[in-house]
Amino acid sequence: MGLATGIGEGTCTPQPPWPHPYPLSKVQPPAANMQKLVSLLAAGLVLWSPLWGPPFELGRQAGARAASCLEGPAPPPAPQLGWSEVLLPAGAGGFGAVLELWFAEGQRYDYRTGRCAGNATCRHYTQLVWATAGQLGCGRHHCPGPRGPSEAFACAYSPGGNWEVAGTPILPYKQGPWCSLCTAGLSGCFKSWDHSGGLCEVPRNPCRMSCRNSGRLDMSSCQCTCPPGYTGRYCQVRCSGQCLHGRFRKEECSCLCDAGYGGAECGSESTSKASFRWDVGDPSSFTSFAFGQPDNQG
């Protein structure tokens, strides 16, 4: 997951928050409907524009909360927004360490009951792995204090999690094979570098195919536009030669020879014009030869 981290005012550069492998694709039991997060991590307050979209708004709100050094009551939970925050000694770690700390709470979480073991706290974990929370914004701020400097971390999720019905906690995700219950709009399956797990995402290639030899894939038609000299469904066939006495058929990378000629390049005179017959018995007026380098993709 590529994230944007605020460095100074109004400057954003991609930065991964966690070391691989990607923790959300490592939950146990496996999640069938876990969404990939779209996130913004903000170092202090950064310049913000409504045109930047929801993750930047979450980052702005989280940055404002962190800038308060978490003084005063935390923002109330709401179906549209969920919060996690912590105050750590300065130098204890960055966003990655904080998110790993929250993820580690899962060791005390019992998926069967939806509750934490004993008096342990794991609401940070359940919010982090809430399947439908597709957007995350976090803020970080250096805070002075009587016991020494500290750093405030605050994260806002949308939509929020940790729901309960009649006092019974709702499970954060549905158990099942990875990506087996993704919605139609999130039918893609993001895999970590080691190809384990899986997170539902907007499909980057809904055609589930690629074009070879520098061909261009038209996502609307799921067809390849091949460069000169290549043909085939995946541009996998390289065409060579020329048709001396005939017409070149690009879609098949072959020559349609004139009557009386044959061979791969229609350069050989045929001894018989009726070199083969159709089932109806009519003599053919051409001979067709293919020349190319097809492979096992057709």
Give the count of domains, the chain. Answer: 2
Whether 281 and 187 map to the same domain: the answer is: no
Q: Which of 106-120, 158-172, 218-232 has the lowest mean pLDDT?
A: 218-232
Task: Specify whether the backbone of 26 is left (phi greater than 0), alpha (psi in -120 to 50) or beta.
Answer: alpha
More confident residue, 35 or 49: 35
Whether 47 and 65 map to the same domain: the answer is: yes
**Mean of pLDDT over the chain:** 77
Among 145, 169, 201, identify where a domain stops. Answer: 201
Whether 80 and 181 map to the same domain: the answer is: yes
Whether 176 and 122 map to the same domain: the answer is: yes
| Both structure tokens of 185 | 């709009």
| Both structure tokens of 76 | 């109330």
User: What's the CATH code of the domain at 15?
Assistant: 3.40.33.10
Whether 190 and 218 map to the same domain: the answer is: no
More confident residue, 162 or 59: 162
Tell me the percentage of the chain whose pLDDT exceeds 90.
32
pLDDT at site 14: 33
Whether 131 and 278 map to the same domain: the answer is: no
CA nearest neighbour of 239 among 258, 254, 256, 223: 254
Cα dihedral across residues 64, 68, 70, 76: positive or negative: negative
Burial of 251-270, coded b for 16+ CB within 10 Å and e otherwise, reads eebbbebbebbbbbbbbbeb
Whether 179 and 233 map to the same domain: the answer is: no
**Bridge partners of residue 150, in order along the sequence:** 89, 143
- Is residue 216 within 8 A of residue 224, CB to CB? The reply is yes
Whether 197 and 266 map to the same domain: the answer is: no
pLDDT at site 141: 92
Residues 6+ apart with CB under 8 A from 62: 42, 137, 138, 139, 154, 155, 156
| Both structure tokens of 190 | 């993001």
pLDDT at site 177: 94
Across the range 55-79, mean pLDDT stands at 81
Q: Tell me the per-residue pLDDT of 71-128, one tens digit each, with 9 for 90 and over.
A: 888 777 666 889 999 999 998 888 888 988 999 999 999 999 999 988 888 999 999 9
Whether 213 and 69 map to the same domain: the answer is: no
Whether 89 and 236 map to the same domain: the answer is: no
Across the range 175-179, mean pLDDT stands at 94
Whether 218 and 128 map to the same domain: the answer is: no
Look at residue 22 and tell me whether its pLDDT is greater than 70.
Answer: no
Whether 285 and 216 map to the same domain: the answer is: yes
Cα dihedral across residues 141, 144, 146, 147: positive or negative: positive
Across the range 48-76, mean pLDDT stands at 73
Look at residue 298 and tell me whether its pLDDT is greater than 80.
Answer: no
The alpha helices in the chain, defined as continuous H runs, are 54-67, 95-104, 123-128
Among 149, 178, 201, identify where a domain stops. Answer: 201
Rounded to whole angstroms, the Cα distance separating 103 from 105 reads 5
Domain of residue 192 covers: 4-201
More confident residue, 8 or 279: 279
Q: Tell me the per-residue pLDDT of 247-256, one tens digit each, with 9 for 90 and over.
A: 887 767 788 8
More confident residue, 246 or 32: 32
Among 201, 231, 253, identify where a domain stops. Answer: 201
